């Protein structure tokens, strides 16, 4: 049922940041979305925020006697401001109030520090947890001369939030279908965003014998990601664990990633009183490429679920397919309330076959040849 994200100055900095800078509680942050932060010993800036807070990260190039700065803006203003003296390449960390509605946390680096803004990443690790990774391309402090302070204000460059790519792990147990027949694509040419529906406190539909939609779709989504990556596709997932991710961040991840395809994976439901209702369906919004994607995924899912009614690839207006800018589809793998579909969705072997089928549909939509 369809309802309604660290690397940082790692060992390449050597002795930089030998001390941890910590504000574990920040009790005076009432009204601010920022509830706590710390700069860890290995240089990772970790943030704790109010759930589903909207964050923006920015970069300003240093010049002359002014070092580069990276800062994060959050909703709500702190009741007080403060700064903590840094160490090594970090000059200081400040919590400020640029206006009455914003909290700004600034990491200011020493003059001469080299940051590559293309490597900057603001990574959501949970509904209220974030990490800011500056990347590893830091050359260290270089000798500099007297600079022109007036020229220090380089243009601000926004850093788009990202939730990172999923890394393949051990093959799930109970795999019943080989992926050897899946075609490959040139490695790195294509990016696909996989969106496991629901999560965390939102289990989605709950069906026969307590079968939860979130458990089914996350298992299948992780396997699809693994299969796609093994065939050369770069994969991003909107979630990889049981966390609740709102719909706009799911869309933002897809739209900011330059992805070629987006697929949201769900399981359907009607009522426990209607176990006779079963079937597979896939939704798309408007575009012919989205329709082709939906049809490819629909056909492949039907092939591994004999007897399950074909409810079609058809138009839908779900937020995640309506607001994404690339070809997008939303797949419903069957009914957790259906007497035919539910036992299948509860079976690890069937979920593996479904993952292979969805992967095949995605690769077909990317133009891969069997």
Q: Is residue 181 part of a domain?
A: no
Task: Judge whether residue 276 has pLDDT over 60.
Answer: yes
**pTM for this structure?**
0.55
CATH number of the domain enclosing 232: 3.40.630.40
Structural domain that includes position 127? 11-162
Which of 162, 179, 208 terminates a domain? The answer is: 162
Q: Is residue 170 part of a domain?
A: no
Do 343 and 225 share a domain, yes or no?
A: yes
Do 153 and 268 share a domain, yes or no?
A: no
Q: What angle do CA 113, 117, 122 make, to 5 degrees?
A: 110
Q: Is residue 184 part of a domain?
A: no
DSSP string, 63-114: BTTB--EEEEEEES--SS-EEEE--TTEEEEEEEEEETTEEEEEEEEPTT--
Do 24 and 155 share a domain, yes or no?
A: yes
Task: With cut-offs at 50, 70 and 90, classify the pLDDT of residue 160.
Answer: very low
Query: Which position has the token pair 């987006």?
Result: 262
Domain count, the chain: 2
Do 155 and 195 share a domain, yes or no?
A: no
Do 123 and 220 share a domain, yes or no?
A: no
Q: Is residue 172 part of a domain?
A: no
Do 149 and 247 share a domain, yes or no?
A: no
Do 196 and 333 share a domain, yes or no?
A: yes
Q: Is residue 357 part of a domain?
A: yes
Do 273 and 361 share a domain, yes or no?
A: yes
More confident residue, 289 or 169: 289
Do 152 and 208 share a domain, yes or no?
A: no
Q: Is residue 169 part of a domain?
A: no
Paired residues of 234 in beta bridges: 191
With beta carbons less than 8 A apart as the criterion, state whether 259 and 193 touch: yes
Do 264 and 359 share a domain, yes or no?
A: yes
Do 221 and 134 share a domain, yes or no?
A: no
- Which residue in 170, 163, 123, 116 sits closest to 138, CA to CA? 116
Q: Is residue 174 part of a domain?
A: no
The model's pLDDT over 30-86, given as tens digits with 9 standing for 90+, comes to 478 888 877 666 667 788 888 767 777 777 777 777 788 888 888 888 877 777 776
Q: Which residues contact 306 (CB under 8 A, 6 or more apart)?
A: none
HSE toward the beta carbon, residue 62, CA cutoff 13 A:
24
CATH number of the domain enclosing 89: 2.60.40
Do 53 and 201 share a domain, yes or no?
A: no
With beta carbons less than 8 A apart as the criterion, state whether 5 and 253 touch: yes
Q: Is 332 a catalytic residue?
A: yes
Mean pLDDT of 96-102: 85
């Amino acid at each position: 049922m369809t309802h309604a994200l660290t690397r940082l100055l790692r060992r390449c900095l050597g002795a930089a940041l030998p001390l941890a800078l910590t504000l574990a509680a920040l009790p005076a942050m009432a009204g601010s979305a920022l509830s706590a932060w710390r700069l860890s010993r290995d240089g990772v800036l970790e943030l704790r925020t109010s759930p589903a807070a909207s964050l923006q990260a920015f970069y300003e190039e240093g010049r002359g006697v002014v070092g580069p700065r990276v800062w994060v803006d959050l909703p709500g203003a702190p009741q007080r401001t403060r700064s903590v003296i840094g160490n090594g390449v970090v000059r200081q960390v400040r919590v400020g109030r640029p206006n009455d509605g914003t909290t700004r946390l600034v990491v200011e680096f020493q003059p001469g520090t080299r940051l590559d803004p293309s490597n900057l990443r603001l990574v959501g690790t949970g509904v209220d947890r974030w990490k800011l990774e500056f990347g590893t391309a830091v050359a260290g402090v270089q000798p500099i001369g007297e600079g022109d302070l007036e020229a220090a204000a380089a243009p601000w460059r926004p850093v788009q939030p990202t939730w990172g790519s999923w890394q393949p792990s051990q093959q799930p147990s109970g795999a019943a279908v080989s992926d050897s027949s899946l075609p490959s694509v040139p490695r790195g040419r294509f990016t696909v965003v996989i969106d496991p529906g629901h999560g965390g406190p939102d289990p989605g539909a709950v069906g026969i014998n307590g079968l939860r939609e979130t458990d089914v779709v996350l298992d299948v989504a992780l396997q699809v990601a693994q299969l796609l990556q093994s065939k050369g596709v770069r994969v991003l997932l909107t979630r990889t664990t049981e966390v609740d991710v709102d719909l706009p961040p799911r869309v933002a991840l897809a739209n900011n990633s330059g992805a070629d395809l987006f697929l949201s994976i769900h399981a359907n439901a009607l009522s426990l009183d209607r176990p006779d209702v079963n079937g597979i369906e896939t939704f798309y919004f408007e575009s012919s490429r989205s329709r082709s994607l939906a049809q490819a995924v629909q056909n492949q899912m039907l092939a591994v679920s004999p007897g399950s009614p074909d409810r079609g690839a058809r138009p839908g207006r779900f937020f995640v397919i309506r607001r994404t800018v690339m070809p997008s589809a939303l797949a419903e793998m069957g009914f957790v309330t259906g007497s035919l579909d539910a036992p299948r969705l509860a079976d690890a072997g069937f979920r593996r076959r479904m993952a292979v089928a969805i992967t095949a549909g995605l690769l077909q939509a990317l133009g891969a040849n069997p």
